Amino acid sequence: MRIAITRAVSPSIADCELTHLERSPIDLDVARAQHAAYEAVLADLGCRVERLQVEPDLPDSVFVEDIAVVLDEVAIITRPGAESRRGERSSIQRALEPHRRLEHIRAPGILDGGDVLVVQKDIYVGLSTRSDDEAVRQLKLIVADLGYTVTGVEVRGCLHLKSAVTAVSEDTLLINPDWIDATDLPGHAFIQVDPAERSAANVVRVGDTVLFAAAFPRTGERISAAGFDVQPVDASELAKAEGALTCCSLIFEAPDRN
């Protein structure tokens, strides 16, 4: 069974953290409708969507990805780089407890899940304003016996590693080379985003389908031309809160207990 943990858009999303974007008005109804459509696409693709309770006082809480890193063997509850986001952890922890053994990133380490890209047994961690070397050190200890390699990667000009690079398959990465050096991710094939679509590198892979942001059609065409099944998802209102497609879910496999 494939599970997708999501959370309803907070009514306080207008007070979200912003790092590289100017604040602009967010239409809450549109954001909620886009988020519901995103969940519907995940369900259509076979995910069991587990939507968590809305968190009215946690503006960024729709972006559940930042709060955990879910591997096959263990889930790591992060210590988000933005203090305003640390209250998001307790509900994510409760949601993951039935599915995984839990570990935690501890102070003084900081880690956002958006900075963690897992490609088979390679774990890349963006060294950003939200994630640091101390978290990389702790992550290495947590997965030491599980066969993963953990590598810190410099990112520039964007919020998270996964703003700059995500996986479209087990061996092919979609990348914005302005924000990360491809040489830091050796052994993979690359598709570059269209140069006019800087923020297009964030896609969600569900089975063999690659969900891309509808705002970036040229990059969608590039992914399609490389032989992948693509599906556009409109998340333009959530993008104003500096969140991308991967940010809105935690997707993982779990035994079917029903």
Q: Per-residue x/- mask for ligand GLY, residues 37 to 76, rule CB under 6 A?
A: -----------------------x--x-------------
Alpha carbon separation from 191 to 5, 25, 27, 208 (Å, rounded):
28, 33, 33, 16
Site membership for ligand GLY, residue 9 (CB under 6 A): no
Site membership for ligand GLY, residue 16 (CB under 6 A): yes
Tell me the C-alpha distance between 61 and 33, whole Å: 16
Site membership for ligand GLY, residue 82 (CB under 6 A): yes
Is residue 248 annotated as a catalytic residue, yes or no?
no
Spatial CA neighbour of 5 closest among 101, 124, 91: 91
Task: Name the β-bridge partners of 174.
Answer: 166, 191
Tell me the C-alpha distance between 93 and 104, whole Å: 10
Q: Given the rule CB under 6 A, which of 41-49, 118-126, 175-183, 235-243 is the region that contacts ligand GLY?
A: 235-243
Q: Given the rule CB under 6 A, which of 47-55, 133-141, 226-234, 238-246 is the region that contacts ligand GLY?
A: 238-246
Spatial CA neighbour of 148 closest among 120, 116, 168, 129: 120
Tell me the C-alpha distance between 41 and 206, whole Å: 10
For 8, the token pair is 């309803």
Question: How big is the chain, counted in residues?
Answer: 258
Size of the site for ligand GLY (CB under 6 A): 9
Residue nearest to ligand GLY (CB): 17
| Minimum CB–partner distance for residue 109 and ligand GLY (Å) | 17
Q: Interface residues with ligand GLY (CB under 6 A)?
A: 16-17, 19, 60, 63, 82, 241-243
Catalytic residues: 160, 247
